[in-house]
Structure 1
Amino acid sequence: MTSTELARRECAATVLGGPTTVVDIGGLRLVSDPTFDEPGPHGYLTKTAGPAIDESALGAVDVVLVSHDQHPDNLDERGRAFAQAAPLVLTGPLSAARLGERAVGLSPWTSHSVPRRDGGGNLTVLAVPAVHGPEDGERDADGNVNCEVTGFVLSGDGLPTVYVSGDNASIRTVTEVSRRVPGISAAVLHAGAARVPAKFEGRPLSMDSRRTAAAAAVLDADVVVPAHYDGWTHFSEGLADLELAFHEAGLSSLLRVTPHGSWVDLRS
């Protein structure tokens, strides 16, 4: 882990480990699903690696995106404190109610505008659905599989349209996002085939590697940044599985993998 301040980029993303991703776009710095705790047990989940970059090295953050707040592999203790200290948190309505006054709850297909720092107007953050488990999984009282999870699409004049999936296991949902938001050119896709034996017969709670490649094809994105595939013991597929799946699908040219904490340009 390094505490050297992370330099700003014009339009790029870097995965810090687990799902945690920094996106610099439109002069803004966004952080999705912050997890900054040290390795160790978190209830029934176990973290095996800390972040590549400490939260203190991120400088001024404009927006924190929280796909869901109920699982520590997407929002751990330090991540929660980091989010609650940010000027703006965008998340689902149920999560927002638990995350304090700076959290704005967005239902699927609603958006929030953030003034850009590059003089280009606003960055639009659109909330999109996600299914955190198998399509036929039992739904809770709010109609969600596992729990409420929110994905996000970032867009603005002169910027690439960027999809951040959150913990979604549903290709049907990716297809709906692609249909309703044409022109997605870059995607941060949560993979790893997360499995918890007690949930849904141990079936994946996030996309496995083949479904991640299929999602890339459905989106017709030019740049795919994988996240959520390492750092926790319940992630059952890693980087090698992702690279093989994209190779077998003939999509290796889309996959952008760099060491955690290193930047990926979001423009093709």
Structure 2
Amino acid sequence: MVPDILAKPRADACAATVLGGPTVVLDLGGLRIVSDPTFDPVGQHGYLTKTMASVATEEQLGAVDVVLVSHQDHPDNLDDRGRAFALAAPLLLTGPISAGKLGPPAAGLAPWTTRAIPRPDGGGELTVLAVPAVHGPEDGERDADGNVNCEVVGFVLSGQGLPTVYLSGDNASIRVVAEIARRAPAVDAAVLHAGAARVSPKFRGRPLTMDSRRAAAAAAVLGAGVVVPAHYDGWAHFGEGRDELELAFDEAGLAALLHAPEHGTWTSLRRDA
């Protein structure tokens, strides 16, 4: 049973819930934000296989204000129904190349550029900062645009009185995380795409996203007080799940930071919650 709270925005909330795969709903400053929407049914999607459905449908999310898309190239991050959902949103933010491929009304943000969004809660604006991501090993072959695998962006969300939240997108690079820790506002909560995604023909089968140990290392580098993992189940090419995440965070002495409840369960993004 999906919590009734998904049916309406939470004006006083600073919380997130994972719906499955990479898809996360965040309520911040009276805004309902959805990242990397995937709502297609279980089955084959191109060369990838979906094994678990989202715990909520598009309709159950109620009024959505912003959709964030880390990249549009792969169906495990933006499938057919997710694409339609994103393009119907009042505001869709993604990287410049993805925006060009998606077409209007998608708006492209290059790394280290921002977009300010008015907040319904009267707290001013939510600032969305696009940050870099590397979708594979650091030494992976770069395309003509200089990207490994494809263009991917992450996001840092911040605003007066709100926790600062980092959404990694499909980033596998600790170097990038260190750069974000150095240049972006101090991160209170991190939504990390983990799962050690692997596709055998690509980069000798090396991970395209963080494995569990790198996710724990990223949390330490960022100094995050809350970590919400996503992108670790629901697709056959994900190599590590919740058990591996819990072990890695425990071995790093960071178990208290990890919040990986059942999908559809809200987690506060405030350090002191």
Q: TM-score range by the shorter chain?
A: over 0.9
From 208, 212, 233, the counterpart of 1:209: 212
AA partner of residue 241 (structure 2): G
CA distance in structure 2 between the partners assigned to 1:84 and 1:11 by the alignment: 25
CA distance in structure 2 between the partners assigned to 1:182 and 1:156 by the alignment: 10
Q: Is the 8 A contact 1:210 1:246 kept in 2?
A: yes
Deviation for aligned residue 1:5:
6.3
Report the CA distance shift for 1:151/1:174 in structure 2 as closer, same or farther (over 3 A). Answer: same
2:65 is the alignment partner of 1:62 = yes
Structure 2: unaligned runs, 5 residues or longer: none
Aligned twin of 1:89: 92
Q: Is the 8 A contact 1:3 1:54 kept in 2?
A: no
Q: Is the 8 A contact 1:3 1:53 kept in 2?
A: no
Aligned twin of 1:155: 158
1:89-146 CA-to-partner distances (Å, cap 9, x unmatched) read 0000010012222211000000001100100111000000000000000000100000
Task: Classify the secondary structure of the residue corresponding to 2:63.
Answer: coil
AA partner of residue 142 (structure 1): D
Task: Classify the secondary structure of the residue corresponding to 2:192.
Answer: strand
Report sequence identity in percent.
Answer: 72
Using structure 2 for the length normalisation, give the TM-score. 0.96
CA distance in structure 1 between the partners assigned to 2:177 and 2:137 by the alignment: 14
From 33, 36, 39, the counterpart of 2:36: 33
CA distance in structure 1 between the partners assigned to 2:94 and 2:137 by the alignment: 22
Q: Is the 8 A contact 1:187 1:225 kept in 2?
A: yes
Q: Is the 8 A contact 1:12 1:25 kept in 2?
A: yes
Using structure 1 for the length normalisation, give the TM-score. 0.98
Deviates more, 1:28-37 or 1:8-17: 8-17
Aligned twin of 2:268: 265
AA partner of residue 73 (structure 1): D
CA distance in structure 1 between the partners assigned to 2:121 and 2:264 by the alignment: 23
AA partner of residue 35 (structure 1): T
AA partner of residue 26 (structure 1): G
2:258 is the alignment partner of 1:255 = yes
CA RMSD of aligned residues (A): 1.1
Deviation for aligned residue 1:3:
9.5
After TM superposition, the runs of 4+ consecutive aligned structure 1 residues lying more than 6 A away are none
CA distance in structure 1 between the partners assigned to 2:189 and 2:240 by the alignment: 22
Aligned twin of 1:8: 9
TM alignment of 1:40-189, pairs within 5 A: 40-189=43-192
